[in-house]
Structure 1
Amino acid sequence: MAEVESPITRQVTRENGESGGPLVDIRLEDVEDCLIYDRHGVAFPFKKLYQDRKSVIIFVRNFLCYSCTEYVEDLSKIPKETLQDSGINLVVIGQSAHHHIEPFCSLTLYPHEIFVDPERCIYQKLGMKKEEKFTNSAHPSPHVKSGIFMGQMKSIWRAMTSPAFDFQGDMDQQGGAIIAGPGSQIHFSHFDMNRLDHMPINWLLQLAGVQQTLDFSDKPKIIHV
């Protein structure tokens, strides 16, 4: 079970953990008017996601990335009632064209809100990292089940079999997560160092105010009788 912590605004990485680290200067005012697009190609400003309520916003690398796919598959397991009871909005943002949203949701079974930032306006203005950095102290995401080789093969196969063959975003762009709102308040931020550097979902939910701890394990449940 992840430890519940008070909301924080500093960047957390696998390297600095809880020992402190460089502060990340995030100003939502810099990105509030950046346009995001829904699955129908309808545009609206980014600030609409967090103006009226607290939102957990996940930025993924690209929709072909196997680690992002498996991370979003676990996000799809979060019951809508859990979010509604806590007054929280859950949003995934990608960097592809909007017509890739529907196939990605069908693949991951993701039922919550999802949008795209095809110009990477938010990614760039928030300072999300380009290229990957791996360290010996890094801990892989608990939500990624595939190894790197098989995962990359899955990504390549999906690119080759896609009706619109493209890489669905900048392959060097890394993602991240923020908890924001209501208003321009930032409660937490994390920028991924590499494809495996996702923040554990239970941690994000608890920082946002969800009291329930969810089980994302695929292992069979043992029933004691």
Structure 2
Amino acid sequence: MAEVVSPITRQVTKGNREVGTPSFDIRLEDVEDCLIYDRHGVSFPFKKLYQDRKSVIIFVRNFLCYSCKEYVDDLSKIPREALEDADIRLIVIGQSVHHHIEPFCSLTSYPYEMYVDPERCIYQKLGMKREEKFTDSANPSPHVKSSVFMGQMKSIWRAMTSPLFDFQGDLHQQGGAIIVGPGSQVHFSHFDMNRLDHMPITWLMQLAGVQQTLDFNDKPKIIHI
């Protein structure tokens, strides 16, 4: 079953960060040999993800987390040609066992690469946070559509109906996003302070070099004639 927390509707502010002022203070050499696993349980070193191409790598909390699910819902809407034109890989990494990759991809319609770091080797060595920190300032993530209450109910229901009844990752572990490669180049890093502190996808894609305008609005478009 999913974690139970007090209702929270605000996230930590990202301050005055602008799209043109990326942050990168991580050491890839500390994590390059950490093992990650694909959906079949085959392992390989983390560095294979970014040796040859620039990669946008998203680390999610746990696969039951409603905010992570809705964030990946929006990642799935990025057109493949937008990534191909920018010559980048889009990768999601979770921290559950590999058996949960296929169901999570199916649930979110996510068509790109997804792996897991079940020992949280990369999370820990990069210094991603455990526990959550909130403030009353800052706007909610544009990618999380559910309220805290409804989101928690959805997470609990998914846990109860899952064929593999487990937490699908450490409930207290936070995620983040990095843009790295080719080689050991680090272009950007952001570590989440809480479940709503995702890096906005539009910003992330712009920093990675995607030129195409992305629209994550689910509302019907009105055409004026």
Q: How many residues align?
A: 211
State the 1:133 CA deviation.
0.5
Match of 1:51 in 2: 51
Identity %: 82
Whole-Å Cα distance in 1 between the matches of residues 196 and 15 of structure 2? 16
Match of 2:16 in 1: 17
- Aligned residue type for 1:223: I
What secondary structure does 2:224 align onto? coil
Whole-Å Cα distance in 2 between the matches of residues 64 and 142 of structure 1? 19
Whole-Å Cα distance in 2 between the matches of residues 63 and 89 of structure 1? 21
- CA gap of 1:92–1:152, structure 2 versus 1, over 3 A, is same
Whole-Å Cα distance in 2 between the matches of residues 47 and 127 of structure 1? 17
Whole-Å Cα distance in 1 between the matches of residues 212 and 159 of structure 2? 37
Whole-Å Cα distance in 2 between the matches of residues 44 and 56 of structure 1? 18
Match of 1:195 in 2: 195
Whole-Å Cα distance in 2 between the matches of residues 160 and 223 of structure 1? 42
User: Deviation string for 1:2-21 (max 9, x for gaps)?
Assistant: xxxxxxxxxxx7343338x9
State the 1:24 CA deviation.
6.0
Match of 2:136 in 1: 136
Match of 2:35 in 1: 35
Gaps in structure 2 of 5+ consecutive residues: 1-11
Whole-Å Cα distance in 1 between the matches of residues 120 and 219 of structure 2? 37
State the 1:128 CA deviation.
0.2
Whole-Å Cα distance in 2 between the matches of residues 194 and 164 of structure 1? 26
The within-5 A match list for 1:1-225 is: 14-18=13-17, 25-225=25-225
User: Deviation string for 1:76-128 (max 9, x for gaps)?
Assistant: 01111110111010000000000000000110000000000000000000000
Decide whether the 8 Å contact of 2:140 with 2:196 is kept in 1: yes
Q: Which runs of 4+ in 1 moved over 4 A?
A: none
State the 1:137 CA deviation.
2.0
- Aligned residue type for 1:88: I
What secondary structure does 2:182 align onto? coil
State the 1:25 CA deviation.
3.1
Decide whether the 8 Å contact of 2:24 with 2:188 is kept in 1: no
What secondary structure does 2:91 align onto? strand
The CA RMSD measured in Å over matched residues stands at 1.4
